[in-house]
Each structure stands twice: as C-alpha cells, then as structure tokens.
Amino acid sequence: MGYTEEDEKIIGEKFDELLEHCQELCRNEENLNLIKKAFFLAKEAHQGVRRRSGEPYILHPLAVALIIVDEIGLGVKSVVASLLHDVVEDTDYTVEDIKSMFGAKIASMVDGLTKMAGVFNTDTSKQAEYFRKVLLTLSDDVRVILIKIADRLHNMRTLGSMPPDKQIKITSETIYLFAPLAYRLGLYSIKTELEDLSLKYRFPDQYNEIVQKLNAGEADRTKFIEKFNKPIVDRLTESGIDFEISGREKSIYSIWSKMQRKQIPFEEVYDLFAIRIVFKPSPLIPEKSQCWHIYSLITDIYKPKPDRIRDWVTIPKANGYEALHATVMGPDGTWAEVQIRSQRMEDIAERGFAAHWQYKQATLSSDEGEFDRWLKQVREALNSPTENAVDFLDNFKLSLYTTEIVVFTPKGETRTLPQGATALDFAYDIHSKIGNRAIGAKINHKIESIFSPISGGDQIEILTSGTAKPTPEWLEHVTTAKAKQSIKIFLKKDKQNNIERGIKIFEEKMHEFGITPSARVFRKVLPAYECATKDEFYSKLGAEIIRLDGLEKILRENSAKKMLKFWSLQLTNPFKFLSGDGKKKGKERDIDASDTEFVIAECCNPIPGDTVMGYRDPSTGKINVHKTSCDELTRLAAQHGENIIPVKWSSHKAMSYLSVIEIRGIDRIGILLDIAQVITAELTINIRELHIQSHDGIFEGRISLYVKNIQDLKMIMDKVRQIKSVEKVKRIIHPNKE
C-alpha cells in the first residue's frame, strides 16, 4: 500500500527543508543531484512502510540527514549515507547495488551502518556484536559513528510510540554507550539531549518533577543572571572585546544525577546554571592569552574560588574540548560558574569532531591533538584480539565517559588518563610491554606501589623487571580499557600455556599408574582439588598451584565425596507477567514464594513499590528482577535487550523484605534509644540489625530492617530524619559491596 496524498505532501515538505539546509554543501549541480538520487531511491525502497508511530518511514532517514547537516555539520557523502542508512538492512537492495550507484566510499559507510543478522554465536549478545561492528568503522571513517549517533538521536526523539520494555532496551543502550560516545566525540548538545530523553522515558515522574521546578524558578534565575552579567558586560565592552554572554541551565539529567549521587533534594542543587562568554578573537593575540585576559577582568569584579579553575585551553580534553572554566562568588553570596571560550572553541564544543576536523584542515595543522591520540588508541584496541563482543564493548566503554587528569613522563611529556587511574594504568599507557613487566613506580621521585593512585600533575617513572608478569588481581587495580585488555590478553595466553603444561603433567602421571583419563576419573579428581572444570584443574596444575602428590589415594577411593549445596530463597512476590511485546501472555498469574522462576537481583535488592524490570537469564531460564534504576540492568539491557521482560509487583500478598538504611548525625545521649523507639514502637517495624559508632562528636551507622514495600521504607526514613540530631538518612542499595 502506497502513501496517501497527505503523506506525500509531508514527505515533500521535509525533503525541501533538507535541500534548503544543504545549500552551502550543494554549490555544484553534481552534489545536489547526488542527494536527490539518494532520496528518491530511499523513498522507493521504503514505499508504503510506516514507523510504529504511523508516519511514513522515509521521514526517519530525512530527519537523520537533517541532524547530520544542522547539528553535526558533515558533508554531502554523509547526507547521502544518512538517507540510505536503512535501505540495505530493510529492503532488497545490497551494498553492491549502492556501490554501483553511489561509489565505494558511500557504500562502505552504508555497510558500516547496516546491522549484522544471522551470524551471531549463541552465547554472544547480538547488540554487542552490532556495536562492535559499528565501532570498528572508527578504523577508517568516523563519519559512520556520527551518522549512527544522529540515527539514535532521532529514534530517541520519537521513542514515545514504543512499548515500555523496548523503551528500557533503547534508553539503556543510549545511556550505556551512545551518550558517552557523543561526549567523547565532542557532541555536547547531542549528548545532553540523549541523556535527558533517556531520563524522560526511564523515570518520567522524576523528569517531570525537575522540569516543573526548573520552570517555577526560571524568573528568579533570569533576574540573578541579569544582575550577575551587567558589570561583566560593561567591563568587557570597555575593553573593546567582541563577545556574547549567556546563561546556560544545567541539563535535567545532570541535575537528576547529582540528586541521586549525593542523595539530596532538588532544592539543594545550587549550580543550576553557568554563565558562558564566547568571544571573537583578535588575529594578533593568541586565543589562550585572550581567555586569561577575560578571566582577569571578571575576577577584578568577582572573587574566584582557586580550587575550581579548569584550564582546558592549555591542555584540551581528549575529545578536543577547549575552554577556561572558573567559579566565582557572585552577588548575594552565590557561587556561579563562568565558561570562557573563543568562537572556534564554541563551534568545537557544540559540533564536536566535525568542527575539530574542519578547523584542523583549514589551518593545515598536522599537530596530533588529544582527540587524535584517543582515536589512535581506539584503533589499536579494535585491532587487538578480544574474548567476545561483550568484553569488547565493556572495554571500549571504559575509554569514553571519564574525567581526565594530565600526568608527566620522566622526560616531561604529558599523558592524559582517567581520574582514578593508577601507576599501572600509566605503565600500560606507555606500552603494554612496560605494563606487563612493571614492579613499582617513582611518583614525584618517591618509590610507590604499582597500584598507587596517581593525581594530575604527577611525574611518574615505571620500574620494571624481566621476571614480573600480570596476575588476575591486577585487573582490580586498573581503570583504563588499554590496561584491562592488555592484562586479559596476557592472562589468556598464560592460562593456555598453563593448561597445555598441566595436560602434559597429568597425562604423564596417569601413564605411571597405567590409567587412561576418563569422565569417571575426573569425577573423583576435580572435587578433590576444588576445581569446577578440567581447564581450571589443568591451569592450576600447570601453574604449580596444585600438586599431584596425593593423586593415587584419591583414585583408590570407591567414590568421590558427595558435595551438597544448601540455599534458601525468599521470593517476596508476586508479579504479573507480561510478554516481551507488552501484551498479556495468556492469563495474568501470581507467583507464590515457592515458585523459583523469579529471582530478586542481589545487585539492587528491589522491594515492592520500586519500579522493576525482568531479565531472563539465558543459561537458567529464570527471570532476575531488577530496579529500573539499577546500573547492572542498564548494562544487561544495552547488551542483551532481547532478554528484557516487563514485570510488576502484585499487591495482594503482604510479605517482608530486608532493607538497609544508613544514618549520620551529631552524637548525643539517648540518640540510639530514640532511633529504636521511632522504628519499633511508633512504626512497629522489625529491626534485624542495628550498628552505630561514634567518633569526634559524630555518629554514623546502619540499620537492617524488614519492610513490606517502598512506601514503608520512605515513611521510616522520613520519621528518622525528624529525630533531633539526625542529619542524613539514605537507603543502601548494595549493602554487601560497600
């Protein structure tokens, strides 16, 4: 079925809009005809197809192409690839067809954007394989990634038409990979919108609450910004500086993240906006000098906070971001952040890689910036062997969303590493061979452990030994993708060598006894040496962790000792089960506590009232129930979205759930009695464990208690907050990990 007359009218209007925005790109007839040719092919290929929202499918590639032009700033080939990005995947056209009509480069870009299908291992995530293929295009053409981000942005803008489980899958992918990737490629405005849209669909109530409170306080903020800006505007104008000044609100997602991270209400988030000054530089004075000149003029008016100066004009961020940030004390005793940048810096901050590349070509610069160095590292990682696509994706993500520090080599060269990195990360950043042989470090000329954290400005020298080698424990002391990957590669190779050595030792020993290794033999041997698999047994044997001194006695025993495993699971149910497409699957049913199909996830320990989502474990078939805010669920949904299942609590059974709260306040006589009185006497809640300690006039502790639902828990926390001297009460989600 074709499109209606109204559909055709809308499609024509959107195409005309695209052509209008492509005028700068289409200065010759050839480019214009190429875009038209791509549009008419895509329209014919998607003829009659509609999106879930009901609109013609061709509007999607048109919207992606418009984002590419307006919000990222790529060229004609990227526009053409955007229009064609779903043609090979969803229609009968092949990459060869695209190549014959549009050339090898555009065909390569379209191929990079085409999802893999039917070639996945059963134990490997389809999404991770797909992400890996897309990321591999970084090796030759970053534009493919930029188009993919534009594609994701439009999908997020139209996510309202998708069912809840699909929204969880798509928002998880977005927050787990696409938003960090947009950040790393310098696309700040797109990164912010992706995060805000993820929050909107993941936690709509909290999103709407923040929006309402921002709107309610808008008039006061506008008044403050005008008052703050006036003396700055006067001073910069007097100095003959050509500039624009504006107040930028903090994103909804970053406000929400701060509220979650610090467990504070909206009213306690004070840095809701920043003042941005963008100047047109004088060609006779370096931009860096002009940034510092403007800074000095501002700090003549408002006093700066010395520990809050961020100098990214001297050493830019790894994604190319340049600016000078300072926090100053404004009117009425309010701290305000000021961002100072040139027009070039502003373009790069807003449009990321594309602007970075255009400026580099315009100045004919051959300097390798931080962004180029990061891209080089990514390419090296992509060319290294990895165990599977999920490991690859986890390792790649480590290189995306990090706060960076700059450290120095003994010769004074700078290296950019994520905050929280150790000397071992630095060693692997220099070279994997240095990392593998590291035994210690000189940090600022003082000998320290190889696991010591490093700080910005440190000068580091790595001490090595020919006998040193990585151990599995090293993985706990590194944060960078390169270090983790290098250690895993070494351990995998070392394990294989140990297995081969172990097989040889075991077979020689069995030959002495005149016994042929068999399943019956291993049923006795593995439990005796506390090994779960033959590979583990061989590996430990080859590494000399275990010896075969008592093997003969073990083999003589009539039967291996039976190992019994006891466990108990209190499944405080119940759930109403929905199928993956959001439709009721047969009759709604309640799951009682003896039904083990559902398992409460220990990583987030949800209780009734928490918004939850299910993840079907492919190995067991059981459904693990997570809070929708759980980081582990986000990772699983991003990598194995096909296993996400909507579930919700049923309300007809009242059972108790163990929860843990943390309290802190000013110590006084009787505080413990007051806390216990409120919880047990007033609220009749059963306390399982109460641990309080006092030091220097401050008390802090944890209370484990049984509650029926999230409303009970919130009521308890509110009551405890009202107790005199109690300053802070928060729920502990991972009590066993802290």
Kindly indicate the confidence band of residue 737, based on its pLDDT and cuts at 50, 70 and 90. Answer: low
Do the beta carbons of residue 88 and residue 99 sit within 8 Å?
A: no
Kindly indicate the confidence band of residue 350, based on its pLDDT and cuts at 50, 70 and 90. Answer: confident
Do the beta carbons of residue 379 and residue 138 sit within 8 Å?
A: yes
Kindly indicate the confidence band of residue 124, based on its pLDDT and cuts at 50, 70 and 90. Answer: very low
Measured CA to CA, the distance from residue 480 to residue 384 in angstroms comes to 15
> Distances from the Cα of 86 to the Cαs of 17, 45, 92, 162, 730, in angstroms?
21, 9, 11, 19, 47
Measured CA to CA, the distance from residue 304 to residue 728 in angstroms comes to 30
Measured CA to CA, the distance from residue 664 to residue 728 in angstroms comes to 5
Q: What is the DSSP letter of 405?
A: E
Chain position carrying tokens 């969880």:
168
Measured CA to CA, the distance from residue 404 to residue 45 in angstroms comes to 46
Domain ranges of the chain: 5-200, 209-362, 371-488, 489-556, 575-649, 657-732
Q: Is the pLDDT of residue 234 over 90?
A: yes
Residue bearing the bigger pLDDT, 454 or 606? 454
pLDDT tens for 435-487 read 999 998 999 888 888 999 998 888 999 998 888 889 888 988 998 888 888 88
Tell me how many degrees the CA angle 365-309-344 measures, rounded to the nearest 5. Answer: 30
Measured CA to CA, the distance from residue 145 to residue 429 in angstroms comes to 25
Chain position carrying tokens 């390798």:
368
* Per-residue confidence (pLDDT) for residue 330, from 0 to 100: 85
Chain position carrying tokens 């320290």:
448
- Residue 389: HSE in the Cβ half-sphere, 13 Å Cα cutoff: 22
89 catalytically annotated = yes
**What phi and psi values does residue 661 have, to the nearest 5 degrees?**
-120, 150
Tell me how many degrees the CA angle 703-708-714 measures, rounded to the nearest 5. Answer: 60
Q: What is the DSSP letter of 400?
A: T
Q: Is the pLDDT of residue 663 over 60?
A: yes
**What phi and psi values does residue 115 have, to the nearest 5 degrees?**
-70, 145
Chain position carrying tokens 């038209």:
36
90 catalytically annotated = yes
CATH superfamily of 5-200: Hypothetical protein af1432 (1.10.3210.10)
Measured CA to CA, the distance from residue 20 to residue 652 in angstroms comes to 60
pLDDT tens for 308-325 read 888 989 888 776 788 999
* 636: nearest Cα among 133, 160, 92, 173: 173
The DSSP-derived string for 568-619 is: -------EEEB-TTSSB-SS-----TT-TTEEE-TTT---BTB-EEEEE-TT
Kindly indicate the confidence band of residue 275, based on its pLDDT and cuts at 50, 70 and 90. Answer: very high
Tell me how many degrees the CA angle 271-274-279 measures, rounded to the nearest 5. Answer: 165
* 611: nearest Cα among 621, 598, 622, 626: 626
Measured CA to CA, the distance from residue 429 to residue 409 in angstroms comes to 11
Do the beta carbons of residue 55 and residue 5 sit within 8 Å?
A: no
State both tokens at 581: 């497409």
Q: Which CATH class is domain 209-362?
A: alpha beta
Measured CA to CA, the distance from residue 458 to residue 284 in angstroms comes to 34
Do the beta carbons of residue 573 and residue 591 sit within 8 Å?
A: yes
Q: Which helix (H) or strand (E) holds 325?
A: strand 324-329
For residues 575-609, one letter each, b for 16 or more C-beta atoms within 10 angstroms of the residue's C-beta and e for the rest, the string is bbbbebeeeeeeeeeebeeeeeebbbbebbbbbbb
Helix (H, G, I), strand (E, B), or coil: what is residue 121?
A: coil
Measured CA to CA, the distance from residue 673 to residue 723 in angstroms comes to 11
The DSSP-derived string for 446-463 is: EEE-TT-B--TT-BEEEE
DSSP H helices in 4-103: 5-21, 29-45, 59-67, 76-83, 87-90, 95-102
* Per-residue confidence (pLDDT) for residue 81, from 0 to 100: 92
DSSP H helices in 57-203: 59-67, 76-83, 87-90, 95-102, 104-113, 126-136, 143-157, 164-173, 179-184, 188-202
State both tokens at 467: 């006998």
Q: So what's the architecture of 657-732 in CATH?
A: 2-Layer Sandwich (3.30)
Q: Which CATH class is domain 371-488?
A: alpha beta
Which residue among the candidates 55, 70, 90, 667 is catalytic per the annotation?
90
Tell me how many degrees the CA angle 448-449-451 measures, rounded to the nearest 5. Answer: 130
Parallel, antiparallel, or unpaired: how do β-strands 324-329 and 698-707 relate? Answer: unpaired
Mean pLDDT in residue range 584-613? 62
* Per-residue confidence (pLDDT) for residue 132, from 0 to 100: 61
> Distances from the Cα of 604 to the Cαs of 331, 476, 491, 599, 658, in angstroms?
43, 22, 31, 12, 12
What's the whole-model pTM score? 0.65
Which residue among the candidates 8, 16, 44, 89 is catalytic per the annotation?
89
Q: Is the pLDDT of residue 669 over 60?
A: yes
Q: What is the mean pLDDT of the chain?
A: 80
* Per-residue confidence (pLDDT) for residue 583, from 0 to 100: 41
**What phi and psi values does residue 7 have, to the nearest 5 degrees?**
-60, -50
Where residue 240 falls (left for φ over 0; alpha for ψ -120 to 50; beta otherwise) is left
Measured CA to CA, the distance from residue 612 to residue 646 in angstroms comes to 8
- Residue 75: HSE in the Cβ half-sphere, 13 Å Cα cutoff: 9
Mean pLDDT in residue range 531-547? 82
Kindly indicate the confidence band of residue 593, based on its pLDDT and cuts at 50, 70 and 90. Answer: very low
